[in-house]
Amino acid sequence: MNSSSTIQRFLLENLDIRGAVIKLTDVWQALQHERGYSPAVAGLLGEMAAVCVVIAGNLKQPARLTFQARGNGPVRHLVVDCSDALNLRGFVKAEGFSPDDKLPSLLGDGQLQLSLEVEGLEQPYQSIVSLEGSSIAEVFTHYLEQSEQQPTGLWLACGQNASAALFVQKLPGADAKNPDGWAYIRTLAETVRNEELLELDAAALLCRLFAEEDVRLYPPRAVTHNWPRDPEKIADMLLTIGEKEVREMLGESGEFTVRDELSNHTYRFGITEVDALFCPRTLH
């Protein structure tokens, strides 16, 4: 599947500082498709999606990364997940908040849970991401510094047409090359504007920010949103519920819908579909 959404890694060779530029375009459009998100809700989802790609792009083994938030604030439910192949999906449900609200007030007493399903392990690895910061960027800068034990910088931007991130991280040998290098690069990165993150490609962005540095830019990796409809999964779920309950779901209208929020699909069932589900034809 061709995609214009990418993560592109880079290395500041003379300073031993690594990083990545994430740009979600067509994937971001797919995540929003027919959702009707307000700008504030979309911004929260878009930033979380970009962060998920940052972390999934660092996975060293096949796994699926999921971030999930539930709280008693206006954000009722937020889920973003991404495979090691960078296949991304997600959604958010929220109501009744101001665009000026900060992250802690949006989630209330909620927390962000990270789950990592590693191939070959029966149980996923889970941890809680504490809400230390007033923005998604601050929360995950703290998380990445704690989990990877290296100073980290993260800048996020989200607009109607794109979501983007700039990630930088100090490597263990950086001080030996230049003890002032990390502070210098952080200062330069802090000058990045949202418009630059959203509009410039990786090469142009890094040239603007780190013009005096030798930047090794690695080939981009595509990020996709490739989650086809899966009617068999929905049928299995309805079979588990049972015929009596499913027929009651038809109600007076004679139909109902099942929504797969994460993959952004709606399945419609009427009497004909229910009959076919519970009374399949047999061949004689």
Nearest CA to 7 among 19, 25, 18, 23? 23
| Proportion of the chain above pLDDT 70, given as a percent | 92
pLDDT per position as a tens digit, 173-207 = 899 999 999 999 999 999 999 999 999 999 999 99
Q: Is pLDDT above 50 for 284? A: no
**3 state DSSP class of 41:** helix
Residue 205 CB coordination number (10 Å): 20
* Placement of tokens 């604030």 in the chain: 73
| Proportion of the chain above pLDDT 90, given as a percent | 49
Q: What whole-number distance in Å separates Cα of residue 79 and Cα of residue 66?
A: 7
pLDDT per position as a tens digit, 106-150 = 776 667 889 999 888 888 888 888 777 778 898 889 888 888 889
pLDDT band at 267 (very low <50, low <70, confident <90, very high): confident
Roughly what angle, to the nearest 10 degrees, separates helices 243-250 and 231-241? Answer: 110
Concatenating the DSSP letter of every residue in 59-116 gives -SSSEEEEEEEE-SSSEEEEEEEEETT-BEEEEEEE-S--TT--HHHHHTT-EEEEEE
Average pLDDT, the chain: 88
Given this model, what pLDDT does residue 109 score? 67
Roughly what angle, to the nearest 10 degrees, separates helices 271-278 and 231-241? Answer: 80
- As given in the structure block, the two tokens for residue 275 are 């009959």
